[in-house]
Chain A
Amino acid sequence: MRNTKKVIAATAAVATLVGLAACGSGSDANANKGNADKAELVFWGWDSGNSMKDIIAKFEKANPGITVKFNNTGTAEKTSTALSNAIAAGNGAPDVVMLEDPTVTQFAVTDGLVDLSEFGADKLADDFAAGPWNKLQYNSKPYALPIDSGPEMFFYNKAVFDKAGVDGESIKTWDDYYEAAKKIRATGSYITNLAGTSGDYQPFTAQIWQAGAQPWKVDGEKITINMTKDEGMQRYIKFVQKLIDEDLVDTKTPNWSDDWNRELNDGTIASLTIGAWMPINLMTGAPDQAGNWRVAQLPQWEEGKEVSAEDGGSALAVVKLSKNQAAAYKFVEYMTHGDGAQTMADTGTFPSLKKILTSDSFTDPTTEANKKTNAYFGGQNVNEVLSEAAQRPTEKFQYLPYNPFAQSAYGDEVSKAYTGEITLEQALQNYGKKLAEQGEQQGYTVTVK
């Protein structure tokens, strides 16, 4: 899918580059608050729940002076590309923009977004789940508010686990997971797939995040990269290297490939550690396994702990070039924290607002949407498990300000560890060097450990 878009976008490479360059200039931030009750807002984003029209209509009814023009920018990748073009050009930018969580820092660093604490957003911290909230902070200030979240979960195929004599519910630590992996391999299946491609980047960051690693530290214009020496990284590396060496994971199948769906569908891949937004993908990608999949909390590095991590998620931000920042914030607040959030949750978005996560309707097994999901998961109350995960504590974790590069370079460098060319430690060390080069190209002062 993504590749098809690449093809379309790059058919005329030179011509496309034209739109990308151009020199820009900043503008004075304080003068642009505008009238909070009267504005015409432009809003860029994607509409996966097909609910934007509805939400905007309700918002405009509640705020008669403000109109919102929704511009569907398709995907997260396209939106951030279009935004960086508009910011570089100094005009044509929207007032409100939807972004994937890890790209928020990138725009915050380059002064493209408004610090929302100017409007009191910092006081909303406790209303949101910790995971998504923590990702949107830069210099301890919120630069966006989360619309959804993706706590990392452990999904497993109970039929395959039963055949191998493994009880999925009893997997509490990564050591348990390793023992289970051996038993499952003996039946011919794999506990999971790990290929080190760019599609595995998100689960990778979630897993090292949960391990307590801090590979990237961004402090203004200084970046410290520590891909292998960090204690959390070490325990991740040792664990995964063991899985590779003992042939316990399928290293040939990349996430989101056609083979991946087929292997999920025929039981070759018996489990996944991936974001809480996965159920709908399993239901469409692995229809033959209906009734067999289950969801559980992520295995822990230390017994008895309850540490979570985030995989994916998106947020709303106010663009600095906007002349209607106060009204724009009103809309952001409505969609993420106000009534709009409930509408989004009702149309399939996994919420980040604690109020909704803990509400009865969210975990009510009798609603239409929940009934369908729970049936696929063999009658399990899926949202109850997911809601618990979303409320677990997370450590602080920082992405690099050039996250899209970090994702594509991950595939180039780290996959070599999964083909056995080099060790995972070497691969991550090389990856760190690549990231440092990019940081220097972008004008940062980079230290590699």
Chain B
Amino acid sequence: MTQPVGVSPVGVSPEMAGMHTPEARINKHKADWRGWKFMWPFAVVFVFVFIIPIVYAIYISFFKKQMIGGTKFVGLQNYQRLLVDQQFWSSVGRVALFTVVQVPIMLFLAAAMALAIDSMKLHGTKFFRISTFLPYAVPAVVSTLIWGFVYGAKYGLVGSFNDFFGTNVDVLKPSVLLAAIGNINTWEFTGYNMLIFYSSLSTIPHSLYEAASIDGASEWQIVKSIKLPELKGSLAITVIFSIIGSFQLFNEPSILQNMVPGNAITTYYTPNMYAYNLSFSGNQSNYAAALAIVMAVITMAIAYAVQLNSMKEQMK
């Protein structure tokens, strides 16, 4: 879920922040190569597993491999084709819709759970904390299979429900399929986000709460004035992770493909699935590389916008 792409906007921020501070300018003059001795093991790995693949993907996206005619340089042709590729944009639209609906629901649930656990008013908080986090430890392949069996309108849990009540519910029909996938993702990642929220809540010193209660603040006022402002920082992180995750949607729809009735999940259901099919069954790996680059740019742009926005919020 947390792919390297997500790290980059976060990684940019210290520099961005640095540019506005006087120390940064002074450090620049004191540039010292000794630091690289400590850096090189990381730098070598980083270049090999991160920079080179990306540069190579960009490089091959300027070519076209044909069964007749072999490989030739085509410049920006792949990108031009992508611009008017309806299948591509329909898949982007689908994950965008998914993101807009699923991410807020999931983060709201995660924040509510974190606040509940942090309230110290619950019994068995440890059990609650670990059990909501547990789905995150289940591999996506397994959890999708589990949910697929639950959803089955003929032989699944939904099927049993239908038999018992004489209803005709089908949560895998094309019109609600995306919501069904969203439910799987919410189940998988709410606990993970809850943990991020919870950890930032637990950094608040207890003296603040004591001071608040001495001042006569109610529980709601404490939540509103102390806890929620503290959550803002981690909210930016969880939003970025979640957006990246949703845009990279692949496992859940690919596995459900053979579990939904008919062919509701096409080979271009999400951008990643489209890229996968283009390169592995379409023999168009160069075009798929162009697609991957464009998706990375779109995702980074959105993540960056969120980051900038949250920085502005924090400056206030």
- On A, residues with C-beta under 8 Å from B are 2-4, 6-7, 9-10, 13-18, 20-21, 23-24, 77, 81, 84, 88, 106, 109-110, 195-199, 221, 251-254, 256-259, 262-263, 401-402, 404-405, 407-409, 411-412, 415, 418-419, 438, 441-444
Q: Does B258 contact A (CB under 8 A)?
A: yes
Option from A7, A21, A77, A408 in Cβ contact (under 8 Å) with B250 = A7
Option from A88, A196, A412, A415 in Cβ contact (under 8 Å) with B65 = A88
A415-B261 Cα distance, complex, nearest whole Å: 10
Name the prevailing secondary structure of the A interface residues.
helix
Shortest CB-to-CB span from A449 to chain B, Å, is 21
Q: How many residue pairs, one in A and one in B, have C-beta atoms under 8 Å apart?
A: 155
Option from B282, B286, B296 in Cβ contact (under 8 Å) with A438 = B282
Q: A3-B257, A438-B282 are in contact. Are A13 and B60 (CB under 8 A)?
A: no
A263-B152 Cα distance, complex, nearest whole Å: 13
Which residues in B have their C-beta under 8 angstroms from that of A14?
A: 53-54, 57, 289, 292, 296
Which A residue's beta carbon lies closest to that of B286? A21
Inter-chain contact A109/B263, CB cutoff 8 Å? no
A7-B273 Cα distance, complex, nearest whole Å: 10
CB contacts under 8 Å to A, within B257-276, are 257-259, 261-263, 266-268, 272, 275-276
Q: A195-B263, A408-B277 are in contact. Are A7 and B152 (CB under 8 A)?
A: no
Inter-chain contact B279/A419, CB cutoff 8 Å? no
Q: A3-B257, A7-B251, A407-B281 are in contact. Are A17 and B263 (CB under 8 A)?
A: no
- Listed by A's residue number, 5 A-B pairs whose Cβ atoms lie within 8 Å are A17-B57, A251-B262, A259-B152, A402-B282, A402-B283
Which residues in A have their C-beta under 8 angstroms from that of B218?
A: none
Inter-chain contact B282/A443, CB cutoff 8 Å? no
Inter-chain contact B67/A106, CB cutoff 8 Å? yes
A258-B66 Cα distance, complex, nearest whole Å: 37
Inter-chain contact A3/B272, CB cutoff 8 Å? no
Option from A110, A409, A442 in Cβ contact (under 8 Å) with B267 = A409
Which residues in B have their C-beta under 8 angstroms from that of A197?
A: 258, 262-263
Which residues in B have their C-beta under 8 angstroms from that of A408?
A: 267, 277, 281-282
Which A residue's beta carbon lies closest to that of B140? A7
Q: Does B56 contact A (CB under 8 A)?
A: yes
- On B, residues with C-beta under 8 Å from A are 49, 53-54, 56-57, 60, 63, 65-71, 140-141, 148-149, 152, 154-155, 250-251, 254-255, 257-259, 261-263, 266-268, 272, 275-277, 279-289, 292, 296
Which residues in B have their C-beta under 8 angstroms from that of A259?
A: 152, 154-155, 259, 261
Inter-chain contact B267/A412, CB cutoff 8 Å? yes
Which residues in A have their C-beta under 8 angstroms from that of B60?
A: 17-18, 21
Which residues in B have their C-beta under 8 angstroms from that of A199?
A: 258
Shortest CB-to-CB span from B65 to chain A, Å, is 7
Option from B56, B148, B250 in Cβ contact (under 8 Å) with A18 = B56
Which residues in B have their C-beta under 8 angstroms from that of A81?
A: 280
Q: A23-B70, A253-B261 are in contact. Are A441 and B284 (CB under 8 A)?
A: yes
Given contacts A18-B53, A23-B63, 11 further A-B contacts (CB under 8 A): A13-B272, A15-B53, A17-B285, A21-B63, A109-B68, A259-B154, A402-B283, A405-B283, A418-B263, A444-B67, A444-B68
Which residues in A have their C-beta under 8 angstroms from that of B276?
A: 6, 9-10, 13
Shortest CB-to-CB span from A377 to chain B, Å, is 25
Option from B56, B263, B272, B288 in Cβ contact (under 8 Å) with A415 = B263
Which B residue's beta carbon lies closest to that of A411? B263
Option from B70, B257, B289 in Cβ contact (under 8 Å) with A17 = B289
Inter-chain contact A24/B67, CB cutoff 8 Å? no
Q: Which interface residue of A3, A77, A251, A401 has the most chain B CB atoms within 10 A?
A: A3
Which residues in A have their C-beta under 8 angstroms from that of B49?
A: 15
Inter-chain contact A257/B259, CB cutoff 8 Å? yes
A445-B53 Cα distance, complex, nearest whole Å: 34
Inter-chain contact A254/B57, CB cutoff 8 Å? no
Shortest CB-to-CB span from A91 to chain B, Å, is 16
Q: Which interface residue of B67, B251, B287 has the most chain A CB atoms within 10 A?
A: B67
Which residues in A have their C-beta under 8 angstroms from that of B63?
A: 21, 23
Shortest CB-to-CB span from B298 to chain A, Å, is 14
Which residues in B have their C-beta under 8 angstroms from that of A444?
A: 67-68
Which residues in B have their C-beta under 8 angstroms from that of A15?
A: 49, 53
Q: Which 7 A-B pairs have the closest CB atoms?
A: A415-B263, A443-B68, A443-B66, A252-B261, A21-B60, A20-B285, A404-B281
